[in-house]
Chain A
């Protein structure tokens, strides 16, 4: 343990004060259009660029068996043609105007992230508004893009042992809830999505009343709002999507999954069912994750990588999800080690947390990490846009961003053992192993 703790203790006192000093809630402007589209503006004129982030409340959580991966597929199709702009034109025009973009699909939401010079704003507003409800899903393009997604799955999952194990463990731990499958979807579903069904799904979820727009950077809020009104106001609201009603039933005993495949190194992970990000326990587990897994000073790194030398690395923790998801402990084992021994050490470390909790030093470390991570993200327009959008969708309001650190601080160190006991018990556990066959050991 470090000998300098005294020096650091002060730091935590500044937590809330500092937050208010820089990125202020009062500087954020909100507007909601008649059709339900919510817009969050934050002006920041440091660089002549704008981050324009659109979040749709749709992800693999909204899918069903036989139709998995479709949220992610629509993310791809969003660049492939509307009535007004042909396939690929979105990217061509955007790049012509000096813009660039990316997009990502998760379990709970899909985000379209554009960053471009301020001068391109009007064009980008037009392009983004157009692809809400405007996609045509031209059959030939539909088929070609199906191939791209199949390639993405082959690259991201089939040629990546950790991803294969992850997919299997998730599907074993989660039985009923749509978090059962990975965002990419099953290969057989990818190969059989039907155009009419995809279009129906798109119409339902890509509606202004199911979206949040976040604009951060070098623009004038009033003028930008006028532009947005001009291009978005005529997009009709849709019937709100049906709620996701499936709740994961409690797990009633330990589950295991073993994969045997050609590989040079094994993979290993343990997961436990964990609460939604709006559950107070989420914050306690998120604090616990830091001393347990984060960095080379974490308990599991020390034991598995340094002391016992069973692993190359450890990572994991709790994910921010709308519905209860998983707390994961992932280990990259050294080749040839006894995986049971790794499991035993993880069990021991979790038992120690359940009995003794974490030290004051570890508790303060967790809060410091949360605080500095937050600031590092605020350095860029894109980081701010991402945080505002995620807070709006996951935590029920952009303004939650300004009290989220308080929610972490509200967790008492003494609460941690009880919360840990609630989740880290044998019946709640799923263990996954990937065992190499062939290859050279």
Chain B
């Protein structure tokens, strides 16, 4: 019944698909500051708000020394904990007083400062943000406080099986590769770390000649330049060369790797299944997105349909591709009662096989196309999302017309390309499977998968 009605709709929709209007990312203006910091600016006066993003290449977790998980993120946290002119409380008070938002965090590849405020407060927000980036105090007492909080947060994470699963997965998938570094840190890395390590990391990697900035919102260009000059423009460019920021290739699982993490009070078992993906900007991107949308990327995907909609095994099931400059990962995950986890995995593997062998119908592919095209405009709706997009495109060297081309490829991708993407990217015999759940209830349902390496949630690290 369902399938037949879909066929009828596909005929009706054919013309709207091709004519579907979308948004273009507006071209920003570039302002180059004397210290080498490039600022991309787009004016939007619709609301009295301004957002900024500042990306620092090479300051992400992949550049931490081995065993120093969390160093980059800890460094970023400390930037907001006091400068030469303001202590941590003064910074918090000034930001809260304006109702402004400012955060500094790190991903694997870079550090990112993000902020937004009412336009009238922009000079103050920039002054604080620049001060934090240029002259952090790295005070011992703030470091100790933050360290204690991180150690405790690690414990709290292990009380939440879904969150814990992601970290166990990351460690197991990447092994010795620097993408295994957990941004929160681990019990052993936090023990080893010292304030000096943070200072060193900051000194080497937080620098204007490795940074790019984007500003979007209600401010005039002349006014913006004036504010920038007295704030981020004062960030001195070091005389030392920018450190090398290459990352080794992402590891590829060979054979099956199975891990079970026992959490005796869990009433559900959570799984994550991983295999290699593709790097940002790869030519497979469009067909892989279409394929993933259909297999596990949206509510009516195969995976969610079989696990949730048809069988009621779970509240949610999904898959996604995460991509970096040098590679990517495919992940599928869900959760169910401990004694149903075997059934859930069987269905998941059957669906992987089915997609690789049969691919998807042209009706399904039209639906995925419409979905990706239709869901795109809101992703560039806010000042912050535009600023993000600018920096992402520059960082990955994609050009400001990237989205137009990508959406064009989405419109044109052929069924056989999508089938090829499934055959190439969906796992079959080489994968990592990690579970967190109650071992005693789940174990007998998992025997056919082979020998699991067993861990206890209460053991230190991941």
Q: Within 8 Å CB of A21, what residues of B? A: 48
Q: Within 8 Å CB of A439, what residues of B? A: 458
Assess the B378–A265 pair: CB atoms within 8 A.
no
B348-379 contact mask (Cβ, 8 Å, vs A): 1 or 0: 00000000000000000011001101110110
Task: Count residues of chain A with CB under 8 A from any CB of chain B.
Answer: 92
Min CB–CB distance B150 → chain A (angstroms)? 9
Q: Within 8 Å CB of B308, what residues of A? A: 148
B279-300 contact mask (Cβ, 8 Å, vs A): 1 or 0: 0000000000000000000111
Q: Does A200 contact B (CB under 8 A)?
A: no
Q: Does B120 contact A (CB under 8 A)?
A: yes
From 326 to 348 in chain B, residues with beta carbon under 8 angstroms from any chain A beta carbon are 335-337
Assess the B298–A95 pair: CB atoms within 8 A.
yes
Q: Does A286 contact B (CB under 8 A)?
A: no
Min CB–CB distance B408 → chain A (angstroms)? 16
Q: Which listed residue, B19, B88, B335, B375, touches A119 by the CB 8 Å rule?
A: B19
Q: Does A49 contact B (CB under 8 A)?
A: yes
> With A117-B20, A155-B335, A379-B383 in contact, is A91–B300 under 8 Å at CB?
yes
The stretch from A28-36, A296-304, A398-406, A412-420 touching chain B is: A296-304
Chain B residues touching A, majority SS: helix
Bound form: Cα–Cα A165–B370 in Å: 43
| Number of A-B contacts defined by CB within 8 Å | 241
Assess the A151–B382 pair: CB atoms within 8 A.
no
Q: Which listed residue, A117, A161, A312, touches B152 by the CB 8 Å rule?
A: A312
Q: Within 8 Å CB of B305, what residues of A? A: 88
Bound form: Cα–Cα A369–B300 in Å: 39
Bound form: Cα–Cα A99–B312 in Å: 23
A1-40 contact mask (Cβ, 8 Å, vs B): 1 or 0: 1111101101100100010011100000000000000000
B96-125 contact mask (Cβ, 8 Å, vs A): 1 or 0: 111110000000000000001110110010
Assess the B374–A97 pair: CB atoms within 8 A.
yes
Min CB–CB distance B105 → chain A (angstroms)? 15
Q: Does A280 contact B (CB under 8 A)?
A: no
Bound form: Cα–Cα A382–B385 in Å: 15
Assess the A378–B315 pair: CB atoms within 8 A.
no
Assess the B90–A96 pair: CB atoms within 8 A.
no
Residue with the greatest number of chain B CB neighbours at <10 A, chosen from A87, A93, A364:
A93
Assess the B315–A155 pair: CB atoms within 8 A.
yes
Assess the A265–B381 pair: CB atoms within 8 A.
no
A92-105 contact mask (Cβ, 8 Å, vs B): 1 or 0: 11011111100000
Q: Within 8 Å CB of B88, what residues of A? A: 296, 306
Q: Which listed residue, B159, B313, B315, touches A263 by the CB 8 Å rule?
A: B159
> With A3-B90, A265-B152, A375-B47 in contact, is A98–B19 under 8 Å at CB?
no
* Nearest 3 interchain pairs by C-beta: A98-B374, A147-B312, A372-B99
A residues apposed to B, CB below 8 Å: 1-5, 7-8, 10-11, 14, 18, 21-23, 46-49, 85-89, 91-93, 95-100, 115-120, 143-149, 151-152, 154-156, 158-161, 261-265, 290, 294-298, 302, 305-306, 309, 312, 332, 334-335, 361, 364-365, 368-373, 375-376, 378-382, 438-440
14 contacts between A and B (CB under 8 A): A4-B94, A8-B98, A8-B121, A21-B48, A86-B1, A86-B2, A93-B5, A95-B370, A99-B374, A147-B313, A148-B315, A159-B266, A312-B156, A334-B152
**Other 10 A-B pairs with CB < 8 A, given A2-B90, A3-B90, A295-B95:** A48-B20, A97-B374, A117-B370, A144-B310, A145-B312, A148-B312, A151-B337, A375-B49, A375-B118, A379-B49
